[in-house]
Structure 1
Amino acid sequence: MIFWEKMYIIVEKYIGKFYALPLNSVLGIMVFLLMIWIVFGVAFRNRRKMYKGWKIFNIMLCIFSLLLIIKMTLWGRSVRNKELELYPFYTLTTISYNMEAIRTLLMNIILFFPFGLTVPYVVETIPIKRNKCRCILCILSGFIISVTIESLQYYFGIGRAETDDVICNTLGCALGVLAYVVQWKWRKVKSSER
């Protein structure tokens, strides 16, 4: 059994459990991962071999997170009527009768959070001189992937295409990229102290 098949089995087994966790636990996991990525990114940056391993790990995780996003949004969904909701933050207007509205928004943010944590290491392979441009490219890639997924869901009638999903997915990606921004600022401050 290859690595990806093992990972798929693990995801199938535990993803439902993750979505059932209380929201404060989910937020705690996000904050913990954000801190881990900041600390490891800073700690490994000046150690060439360790940073190369960290970068390869992140590239593999980026691919895995993309596959997970596709699995959660496109694969295994039954064909229904085409539904489209273009009104931004429509889900928030349903809170009075939809007990899952906040969870839905948060889970859409979380879905793209790992992609945001890992995609800057993929974009590092592109020769871009300014980190600001690199971060914008990372967030833009999350936006484009989200719009593509919502368009495919609408076209094939396999989900409700919503502006809320695009907004939350892009926000999740941006929150993940935030770890890279903090690392970059932290390294800049440390190098100016020397």
Structure 2
Amino acid sequence: MNKFYALPLNSVIIMMVFAILVWAKLEQVANKNKKFEKWWRCVNIILCICSVFLIIRMTLLGRVSEQRVVELMPFHTFTTMSYNKEASRTLLMNVVLFLPLGLALPYIFKCAKNDRQRWMYCFVTGCCISISVEVLQYCWALGLAETDDVICNSLGCALGIMANVLGREFK
């Protein structure tokens, strides 16, 4: 299993909250300064690209081909929490993994007609990336391909998008 998933949950949560607060503060500065705004957009595009590479690294690369298993029942992992101590960690880490992508994606879709359309593009993109990862995990026999992973990854992307929206609102 990847080292990321072995990190203490409270440390991961603290790091993510801190990162979001720093990101929100920089977003406020960018909203007030046009020169900084262009630089900030570039930083977020790079963050988006890095997020995709991180997702690929954590979910596909470096894993040993094992068995081809799929779990399509939504929320199946929740039913295993009473005897599977790692279930909650896995679910939370799947949310955390896609949160930076949701923060940065809105800068990719500047061409959208309005904010609502931009947010929808971002969410659909996050879902498509998550589904693609699960399909590849199944095709390459890289562990369990789960509907729960898609749900948690999509939730992480949605939370990132919401943090982006809130960061823009507090000017």
Could you state the TM-score of these two structures normalised by the residue count of structure 1?
0.82
Which secondary structure does the structure 2 equivalent of 1:123 belong to? coil
What root-mean-square deviation, in Å, do the aligned CA atoms of Structure 1 and Structure 2 show? 1.5
**Alpha-carbon separation, structure 2, partners of 1:42 and 1:67:** 27
Q: Which residue of 106, 111, 114 corresponds with 1:130?
A: 114
Percent identity, aligned pairs only, is 49
**Alpha-carbon separation, structure 2, partners of 1:76 and 1:159:** 12
Whether the 8 Å contact between 1:37 and 1:179 is mirrored in structure 2 is: no
Whether the 8 Å contact between 1:41 and 1:183 is mirrored in structure 2 is: yes
| Aligned equivalent of 1:191 | none
For each residue in 1:149-170, what CA deviation from the matched residue of structure 2 results, as whole angstroms up to 9, or x when unmatched? 1011111211211000000000
Greater shift after overlay, 171-180 or 26-35? 26-35
- 1:156-167 aligned within 5 A: 156-167=140-151
| Aligned equivalent of 2:125 | 141
Greater shift after overlay, 32-41 or 52-61? 32-41
Q: Which runs of 5+ in 2 are unaligned?
A: none
**Alpha-carbon separation, structure 2, partners of 1:27 and 1:110:** 8
Query: How many Å apart are 1:129 and its aligned residue?
Result: 2.3
- Structure-2 change in CA distance of 1:131 and 1:108 (3 Å): same
| Aligned equivalent of 2:15 | 29
| Aligned equivalent of 2:154 | 170
Which secondary structure does the structure 2 equivalent of 1:140 belong to? helix
Whether the 8 Å contact between 1:108 and 1:172 is mirrored in structure 2 is: yes
| Corresponding residue pairs, total | 170
Structure number with greater Rg is: 1
For each residue in 1:42-76, what CA deviation from the matched residue of structure 2 results, as whole angstroms up to 9, or x when unmatched? 22123111111111111111111101101111112
**Alpha-carbon separation, structure 2, partners of 1:113 and 1:66:** 11
Does 2:137 align with 1:116? Answer: no
| Aligned equivalent of 1:64 | 50
Q: Which runs of 5+ in 1 are unaligned?
A: 1-14, 188-194
Whether the 8 Å contact between 1:79 and 1:156 is mirrored in structure 2 is: yes
